[in-house]
Structure 1
Amino acid sequence: MKILALDLGTSSVRGLVLDGDLRPLPDGLARRKVVLTAADDGTGTLDARVYLDCLLACLDELSQRGRLRGVELVAVSAQWHSVLPLGPDDEPLGPVLTWLDTRPEPPAAQAGPVDPDAFHQRTGTWWHRCYWSMRLPWLRARLGGTPTRFVGLVEYVLGRLLTDAPMSVSQASGTGLLDLCTLEWDAEACALAGVRGTELPELAPPDWTGRLRTGSARRWPDLARARWTAPIGDGAASNVGSGCVDPTRAAVTVGTSSAVRLLQRMPAGAQLPPLPDRLWRYRVDHDHVVTGAAYSSGGNLFAWAQRTLRLPTGAELDAALAALPPDGGRPAGVGFGGDRPPGRRPAGSGELRGLGFGTTAVELLAGLMHGVCEQVVDDLVGLESTVGQQVQVVLGGGAMAASPWWRQAFTTVLAPRTVRFGRHAEIGATGAALVACGRIAEAATVADIGRTDDQTSPATA
């Protein structure tokens, strides 16, 4: 059986074709970069129609190469927290608000949850600008038209391809409106958001599978009979793809942003264990949850430094970093994009300190990279408190694959824990495929976990 795994991220759209052993096929990867509109006022938006075009282009490319032939199953990893208002014609009334957008504020006269702790335990989230409970009223106040309903970006793009595209419980948990135990929309959260059930997506049942519309099947005949499985949040997919699927291993993933997460089996309806104040909890599927913390800073800081500083490139940059100790950069505050929940710092809170005329661009970069490492430590301790033991850490994500120095910096900061490196390059797509196939237990083997000083370049082809 061949599997098509889609990774609908913030910085790119990717399609990866895997064989029955979940190994990438030669020439089986197509990707398109995504243009994110970001500004110092906290804007972080995407154009939904352009994003859809990127996905179509990936599918067309794989089809033209003959790589879709024999695909029986389509798995999807998609960004959490996005929201898109749709009008009566199901067309967007504005851009997609991504996780990076920090502009939403609560209405002046509105109070938050009656019992904030109970709300946090029930939904795994807070009344915060990242979630629909605060985002939807803010959007309504700014829109020129009246939205008929709200969807996430993945529901919009799949809705154009499939006969139906309900919202998975994983994506719904990222809205902040879902009761994680009952797996129904939470009444108090919906009241804060000012929405009725008809304005929210239908929730996908545990056994949901989708099929292409007639027009889509004509465009990609090799996918006409393929089953599409319910999308899972990109953070959950990355945990599975990193091989971190039990309480002994936490994943630290650095892609565009960064996060630390722990996955546990907790079937729907089961009593959930207490959730520490600073951590969120979302659904992977109907049987698993992922608990953790996320940060707006990660590989995007590296990208900023590349654009802004006169950095060396390639082997020259690697050698310059290797000459520095893991803490050899200048002190940095990494709040360039503001805080993810529960923090409330706005965008533009980044800092570079301790500068002198002898400070080099590489030292500035190293300080930023080290700052990303340090932000993880306290939340990792909180995660360990939920399982009563110190855990092993597996590093993953594109930024980790690209920088041995960064991996070593994490190893130093997270000591005395054992720190390993997941060498599989496409952890989001592969994680989604593992969940879709019901093979989560095999994740550690597929992830190819190795040493952090491994110089092998991950490849998907």
Structure 2
Amino acid sequence: MTEYMLGIDIGTTSTKAVLFTTKGEVVGQTNVGYPLHTPNRSTAEQDPEEIFHAVLETIRLLTKQYPNQKPKFVAFSSAMHSLIAIDEDDQPLTACITWADSRSEAWSNRIKEEYGNDVYHRTGTPIHPMSPLAKIFWLVEDRPEIAERTKKYIGIKEFVFQRLFGRYVIDHSLASATGLFNIHDMKWDSKALEIAGIDASKLSEPVSTTTQYSDINPEYAKQIGLDPATPFMIGASDGVLSNLGVNAIRKGEIAITIGTSGAIRTIIDRPQTDEKGRTFCYALTEKHWVIGGPVNNGGMVLRWIRDELASAEVETAKRLGIDPYAVLTKIAERVRPGSDGLLFHPYLSGERAPLWNPDVSGSFFGLTLSHKKEHMIRAALEGVIYNLYTVFLALIECMDGPVTRIQATGGFARSEVWRQMMADIFESEVVIPESFESSCLGACILGLYATGEVDSFEVAAEMIGETHRHVPNEEAMHEYRQLLPIFISLARTLSADHRRIAEYQRSLIQQEN
């Protein structure tokens, strides 16, 4: 008899639900989107109620479509670093402040100046405005009218679980991405709490990523079409689960994800930080840890190109019933590797790894009259991969052995052009699983592990299905070898000028307000 499992991924632009068999075969999937509100360069917020209802709706749509394939459990994945202030009545006092929000920049700078990397080495989270540590410090210091009314500071998955189960809990994986959690003793870190200006009562209870709950609010159970006794696995963060979902779990195996943002990660068996503070260290389970580096600018760069530079192409795609992104990547294919010397720094929303600089901004470099729109599109795609490669260079410094395999996934994997570009820039074979929903599959594999149905993550190898392999092209590698040093040098050289232009842009925001 076939059994089923349901993976939910609460992402930055949408929530996805995927129904799998327990063998990893995809039965069906749904996706409900929601906006990211970015009124200026510093703000990136969402409506937590909207996201909660998207979670309910994705499940409802699947259970309605597949009424006879009831899942034996529901397992969760979620984006990291979000923050919502909650009042005494369990209602949000703020929007969901996402990882991309940089309004706490001044406060993260203060933490760096006063405490250096000490907090990072205890918590595994680099000091940056993405961090809930910096966000809470900002709210306590700058928005006392909110801080005084706040009962809890939570992330979006905590918000969902509180609505469904009436309790404030956070899995160790998401806790280890807050900058407030000691990854060595698996408790809220007293020094980080002191810096933030709060005590542990303001945060949720940390629990293992394998923790399950089966007492969902009956009204919500009825609404989403599930038996109230169905176990809900709290799961982990989208990043660490993506490693599971692409079968990058052994020593030396690297997982690269490009969705709205992006990341490079590898699994190790104990907590580890970087002397230069460039990489993160997050929990997967008590025996599995993930180190790597996140980038702000992944698929959102292509979305910006689509919205701001390619209105005519988008209109044509609509008339023909074609995905606009497929049209854009096809246009990029007309241009040879290296975009005829046009470089694009993809820092449209600041950057985390490897620069950890919220002030850095995007730019085209090498632009001449001979360059056309297709060059700009290809350069933007190449820029995202160049930047990920610089994170890769930092990661391999932290590894105690060679890279044995690169597995890649995320929305970018739908584009053959972009996949080949990665193989050429990384000068390595890149393996792409057939299923792009690695975080949902990873959540379900963790669910099988939590229920004792499997005793190791090795089962992932049998579940990812067919893979595509991209081998680097010698001519393309030759071009990229010449351009990569220029890309890296420019990002460092322009640091002071990035700060000056960011200060100017912030002054415009203040004038408008």
Query: Which 10-residue stretch deviates more, 418-427 or 253-262?
Result: 418-427
**CA–CA distance in structure 1, aligned partners of residues 34 and 401 of structure 2:** 41
Which residue matches 2:332? 321
**Residues 430 and 361 from structure 1, CA distance in 2 versus in 1: closer, same or farther, beyond 3 angstroms?**
same
Matches within 5 A, 1:335-374: 335-340=347-352, 343-346=355-358, 349-374=361-386
Structure 1 residue 251: Cα displacement: 1.0
Which residue matches 2:231? 227
Contact 2:210 2:235 in 1 (8 A): no
**CA–CA distance in structure 1, aligned partners of residues 390 and 167 of structure 2:** 42
What amino acid is the match of 2:7? A
Which residue matches 1:295? 295
**CA–CA distance in structure 2, aligned partners of residues 378 and 160 of structure 1:** 40
Structure 1 residue 347: Cα displacement: 5.8
Which residue matches 1:31? 31
**Residues 3 and 248 from structure 1, CA distance in 2 versus in 1: closer, same or farther, beyond 3 angstroms?**
same
Work out the percentage of aligned pairs sharing the same amino acid. Answer: 23
Contact 2:8 2:18 in 1 (8 A): yes
**CA–CA distance in structure 1, aligned partners of residues 289 and 371 of structure 2:** 44
**CA–CA distance in structure 2, aligned partners of residues 354 and 244 of structure 1:** 37
SS state at 2:226 partner: helix
**Among 234, 241, 247, which residue is 2:245 paired with?**
241
What amino acid is the match of 1:275? D
Structure 1 residue 106: Cα displacement: 4.3
**CA–CA distance in structure 1, aligned partners of residues 182 and 212 of structure 2:** 23
Q: Deviations over 1:22-79 (max 9, x none)?
A: 2111xx2121111101243311111111111211221221232234742111110101
**Among 410, 423, 437, which residue is 1:426 paired with?**
437
SS state at 2:206 partner: coil
SS state at 1:81 partner: coil
Q: Confirm whether residue 280 of structure 1 aligns to residue 308 of structure 2.
A: no
The aligned length equals 445
Q: Confirm whether residue 171 of structure 1 aligns to residue 174 of structure 2.
A: yes
Which residue matches 1:18? 20
SS state at 2:306 partner: helix
Structure 1 residue 344: Cα displacement: 4.5
Q: Confirm whether residue 381 of structure 1 aligns to residue 420 of structure 2.
A: no
Which residue matches 1:189? 192
Structure 1 residue 203: Cα displacement: 1.1
Contact 1:44 1:100 in 2 (8 A): yes
Structure 1 residue 451: Cα displacement: 0.8
**CA–CA distance in structure 1, aligned partners of residues 138 and 207 of structure 2:** 27
**CA–CA distance in structure 2, aligned partners of residues 241 and 65 of structure 1:** 24
Q: Deviations over 1:297-348 (max 9, x none)?
A: 1111111101111364556545432232232262111110101257443367
**Residues 179 and 318 from structure 1, CA distance in 2 versus in 1: closer, same or farther, beyond 3 angstroms?**
closer
Matches within 5 A, 1:48-63: 48-63=48-63
**CA–CA distance in structure 2, aligned partners of residues 227 and 165 of structure 1:** 17
**CA–CA distance in structure 2, aligned partners of residues 97 and 225 of structure 1:** 32
Structure 1 residue 115: Cα displacement: 5.5
**Among 425, 429, 434, which residue is 1:413 paired with?**
425
**Residues 245 and 67 from structure 1, CA distance in 2 versus in 1: closer, same or farther, beyond 3 angstroms?**
farther
What amino acid is the match of 1:452? H
**CA–CA distance in structure 2, aligned partners of residues 387 and 34 of structure 1:** 41
SS state at 1:17 partner: strand
Which residue matches 1:451? 469
Q: Deviations over 1:162-218 (max 9, x none)?
A: 243510000101111111121101111111111111100011146521121222233
**Residues 206 and 60 from structure 1, CA distance in 2 versus in 1: closer, same or farther, beyond 3 angstroms?**
closer
**CA–CA distance in structure 2, aligned partners of residues 383 and 143 of structure 1:** 39
**Residues 97 and 68 from structure 1, CA distance in 2 versus in 1: closer, same or farther, beyond 3 angstroms?**
farther
Structure 1 residue 155: Cα displacement: 0.6
**CA–CA distance in structure 1, aligned partners of residues 327 and 11 of structure 2:** 30
Contact 1:326 1:405 in 2 (8 A): no
What TM-score comes out, normalization by structure 2 length? 0.81
**CA–CA distance in structure 2, aligned partners of residues 42 and 109 of structure 1:** 15
What TM-score comes out, normalization by structure 1 length? 0.90
What amino acid is the match of 1:427? S
**CA–CA distance in structure 1, aligned partners of residues 300 and 111 of structure 2:** 34
Contact 1:176 1:189 in 2 (8 A): yes
Query: Which 10-residue stretch deviates more, 383-392 or 151-160?
Result: 383-392
Which residue matches 1:151? 154
Which residue matches 2:6? 4
What amino acid is the match of 2:407? V
Q: Confirm whether residue 142 of structure 1 aligns to residue 154 of structure 2.
A: no
Structure 1 residue 4: Cα displacement: 1.0
Query: Which 10-residue stretch deviates more, 127-136 or 165-174?
Result: 127-136
**Could you say what the CA RMSD is over the residues aligned between the two structures, in angstroms?**
2.4
Structure 1 residue 383: Cα displacement: 2.2
Q: Confirm whether residue 130 of structure 1 aligns to residue 130 of structure 2.
A: yes
Which residue matches 2:474? none
**CA–CA distance in structure 2, aligned partners of residues 262 and 105 of structure 1:** 28
**Residues 376 and 128 from structure 1, CA distance in 2 versus in 1: closer, same or farther, beyond 3 angstroms?**
same
* Unpaired segments ≥5 residues, structure 1: 267-271, 454-461
